[in-house]
Amino acid sequence: MRVLSLLLVLFALAEAVSVNQRRRIVQSFNIRRSRSSDSTPLQVGNGNFAFGADVTGLQTFKPFAIMSTWGWHNFTLPTKPGQTSVQDYSEVLWWTHGRLVPYEMPNPDQNDISNWLRENPHRLNLANVGFTFGRPGVTEDDLQHKSQELDMWSGRLSSSFKYNGSKVQVETWADPESDTIAINVRSKLLKRGLGLFLDFPYPDNEKFNAPFVNHFNLTSRHTTALERLSHNSAHIKHTLGETTYYTHVAWSGKGTIIGPTEGTHRYSFTADQSDVQLIISLSPAPKRSTTSYRQIVSSSKAWWKSYWCSGAFIDLTAVRDPRARDLQQRIITSQYLTAINSASSYPPQESGLVNNGWHGKFHLEMTLWHTLPFARWGHFPLMWRSQPAMYLQFLPSAIARAQRQGYKGARWGKMTDPSGRSAPGEINALLIWQQPHPMYFAEIEYRSFPNATTLSRWDDILTATADFMASYAFFNESTRVYDLGPPMYPVSENTNPNATVNPTFELAYWRFGLDVAARWKTRQGKPVPQAWITVRDNLAPLPTVDGTYAVYEGIRDMWTDNATTNDHPAMAGIYGLLPPPASGKPLDLAALKKTAGKIKELWALDYSYGWDFAMLAMNSLRLGDPDQAVDYLLHPIFQFDDAGYPVGGSRVPTPYFPNSASLLIATAMMAGGWDGSEGKKGHWPRGWEEEVEVEGFVPAL
Ligand SMILES: *[C@@H]1O[C@H](CO)[C@@H](O)[C@H](O)[C@H]1NC(C)=O
Ligand SMILES: *[C@@H]1O[C@H](CO)[C@@H](O)[C@H](O)[C@H]1NC(C)=O
Ligand SMILES: *[C@@H]1O[C@H](CO)[C@@H](O)[C@H](O)[C@H]1NC(C)=O
Ligand SMILES: *[C@@H]1O[C@H](CO)[C@@H](O)[C@H](O)[C@H]1NC(C)=O
Ligand SMILES: *[C@@H]1O[C@H](CO)[C@@H](O)[C@H](O)[C@H]1NC(C)=O
Ligand SMILES: *[C@@H]1O[C@H](CO)[C@@H](O)[C@H](O)[C@H]1NC(C)=O
Ligand SMILES: *[C@@H]1O[C@H](CO)[C@@H](O)[C@H](O)[C@H]1NC(C)=O
């Protein structure tokens, strides 16, 4: 099989989509705007740092964010006696198979510290940078001929407009290597009042900060200080409680930075020339930036060219079906936006570096969606920024969590931040589908790099994960099978946790995870722990109702209650995201088909969000219906805005990057097939195969 995959890759390489062809396609979807969006910026960035611009190329009228992987903040701890430190928090005991197990849930006797742990640390909007016009009250409507283009091939944002009869031209770039933006402004107005401002906000404890993050009018709660370093550089030190960071500004030619204006944290920069270049770098340390405008421009061009040329590619331009253009556009913009927002050294949050959801934290069940596309599209180094490093970093706290709860191995947390803590929450504590994710990552990495390095770097993680999974499964003396839950939340977080047992997706994923873990040991010539095999071979059967797969065992009114037929239709994941089982009974194809049909007919898809549509698309692919798969990927509820940002919809704010990521996972499967599937150029609607060009994909699991 593996030899065959390699041959397929080589075959595909022979038909390479040329650099020019790739460039033409990418640039044909360059983003153009003539006014600011109310909900999304245009961004330049590098995965760990991003700058969100309005129509001026800066943050003049819309306070979009500058966010990073490292910029976090804590409010002061509560002062209520007995709740003044993290150590004071006590987990909540829930009955679990006859014993009391402590869970990281909000403790009703300790509201203050429970809330603090959920809201802290939160991710910061580091600063705003925009134009000033020499007089107050200028609005976007006062600018004429506004036009901007984001060139995804080079990472250049070019913006221009006229103010008071004079043209202003702006180029905005991000450094691929550091948390730095480079700005070039050209205008005669620079000598007649046009300048720049820098301003610094203060956070709040709201769960969602969208479209804008933090506040510029809470000035007394934080401090800033300007230090001039040379005739053309300065830094501003920003201190918010325990958090301090520096905004280093350097400019070409003559310029002056002053401030802050009384009662604000707003600084002004003016240049005495009609062409100025600025380098603005953000850092937790007061280090001087050594890079130049020209260097950043050339690194950005080189990085993006290599990104677009080195990875896999899908060319749908010759396909006559009008759906192909929409799909191609979603693929290209999603590749640009996920590289900027999700290729970080910690897993990204759902809204990337655009704005904050869940206080800017990341969710370990979502990390598979966010990070897998890099691997599936041939960009392993971007996946390796966070994996497996994150699992290794959090392994000790995951082992401690399992121990406190009386399990073996490591239980991964859920809503998380760089400290590795899992935020208190009932769903957070009882969700389990994040547990087998390391097996998925490891197996995907192994098929591209089947060597000892891959085996050893994931071994401890997989062992601890499988040990937990085996010990979490509960042997039911009366049915003689291993049950999952209760209490637990399945993927669809809308069931009664005390009644939820043996959900279809989690059972299938447990089997998958234990299969991979066992194979991992065998590949290394090591013994496979018996407990893994015993649990795997005696897992409860996948629950069915009327010949369909059910959300969980014993669910009432499976297809007749609209409270059941909404949220994530995870049953489709057992044949969409997951491959058919490598052990045990094969899946029931008739039941899979009937389930897919019922979902299409009855599920509240207008209330669905995120990766639901891509998962349904992958299920359709394996069921042999690529036409339906494309329809799911273009479903009217699965929306992307004019700049390719995934629209949150009825449940979550915009953007919601699991949409973009899952679309890339599904289209990689269309292009590359999966183990055992036939089809040289992938799996496309009738009539597309001859017109599609694909390159560089390996089959999905
Ligand atoms: C916030 O506080 C927690 C708990 O004391 C600590 O682990 C974390 O490093 C702090 N983060 C920041 C950004 O101060
Ligand atoms: C589930 O059981 C726990 C106690 O183990 C209880 O606190 C909680 O309220 C129950 N939840 C529901 C929805 O019944
Ligand atoms: C426009 O420019 C002219 C000439 O420099 C100046 O006198 C006038 O104040 C400017 N108006 C605005 C609105 O900036
Ligand atoms: C402070 O700014 C926020 C937006 O960040 C705004 O909603 C609020 O009304 C402002 N408060 C005052 C007193 O101006
Ligand atoms: C395994 O493959 C990776 C990626 O090509 C490489 O960096 C590593 O050195 C290889 N390890 C071995 C033991 O061959
Ligand atoms: C064993 O499984 C049966 C059937 O699902 C269930 O009713 C029973 O509660 C389970 N026993 C325990 C101890 O969980
Ligand atoms: C379910 O149906 C009821 C009655 O028609 C309706 O009021 C409710 O909003 C629906 N709920 C969902 C989640 O669609």
pLDDT digits (tens, 9 = 90+) for 66-124: 999 999 999 999 999 999 999 999 999 999 999 999 999 999 999 999 999 999 999 99
Ligand 2 contacts (CB < 6 A) are: 94-95, 487, 496, 498
pTM: 0.96
Cα(453) to centroid(ligand 5), Å: 6
Residue nearest to atom 6 of ligand 7 (CA): 562
With a 6 Å cutoff on the Cβ, whether 478 touches ligand 6 is: yes
Task: Give Cα separations from 701 to 137, 440, 669 (angstroms).
Answer: 57, 9, 9
**How many A from CA of 164 to the centre of ligand 3?**
6
**Read out DSSP for 454-515?**
HHHHHHHHHHHHHHHHHHHSEEETTTTEEE--SS-B-SS--S-TTT---BHHHHHHHHHHHH
CA pair distance 184, 166, nearest whole angstrom = 16
Average pLDDT over all residues of the chain: 96
Tokens describing residue 418: 């760089």
Burial-class residue 676 by CB neighbours within 10 Å (0-12, 13-18, 19+).
Answer: exposed
Closest CA to 303 of 181, 155, 151: 155
Which pLDDT belongs to residue 232?
95
Cα separations in angstroms, 18 against 310, 377, 664: 11, 17, 21
Give, as one character, the DSSP assignment of residue 407.
-
The pLDDT, as a whole number, for residue 15 is: 53
Phi and psi torsions of 125, nearest 5°: -80, 115
pLDDT at 1: 45
Residues with CB under 6 A from ligand 1: 72-74, 86, 120-121, 242-243, 419
Amino acid, res. 121: P
Mutational test site, ligand 3, from 142, 161, 164, 189, max ligand atoms within 8 Å of CB:
164
Closest alpha carbon to 353 in 46, 648, 38 = 46
| pLDDT value, residue 49 | 98
pLDDT surpasses 80 at 5: no
Of the chain, the percentage scoring pLDDT greater than 70 comes to: 98
The residue contributing the CA closest to ligand 2 atom 1 is 498
| Tokens at 571, concatenated | 């049953």
Predicted pLDDT of residue 677: 93
* Distance separating alpha carbons of residues 132 and 144, to the nearest angstrom: 16
What distance in Å separates the CA atoms of residue 576 and residue 615, rounded to the nearest whole number? 6
Instruction: List ligand 7's pocket residues with C-beta within 6 A.
Output: 562, 566, 604
| pLDDT tens, position by position, 243-263 | 999 999 999 999 999 999 999
Sequence ranges of the domains in the chain: 32-72+125-308, 83-119, 311-358+604-701
- Tell me how far the alpha carbon of residue 451 lies from the centroid of ligand 5, in angstroms: 6
Distance from the Cα of residue 51 to its chain's centroid = 16
Which ligand is nearest to the Cα of residue 103, counting in written order?
Answer: 2
Give the whole-number percent of the chain exceeding pLDDT 90. 94
pLDDT band for position 290 (50/70/90)? confident
191 lines ligand 3 (CB under 6 A): no
* Confidence bin at 278 (pLDDT 50/70/90): very high
Considering only CA atoms, give the Rg of the chain.
26
Tens digits of per-residue pLDDT, 594-609? 999 999 999 999 888 8
Neighbours of 136 (CB within 10 A): 6
Distance CA 280, CA 179 (A): 8
Question: Residue 651: pLDDT band by 50, 70, 90 thresholds?
Answer: confident
Q: Find the mean pLDDT for residues 124-146.
A: 97
The answer, yes or no, to whether residue 165 has pLDDT greater than 50, is yes
Contact criterion met (CB below 8 Å) for 648 and 671: no
Q: What architecture (CATH level 2) is domain 32-72+125-308?
A: Distorted Sandwich (2.70)
Entry field: residues in the chain: 701
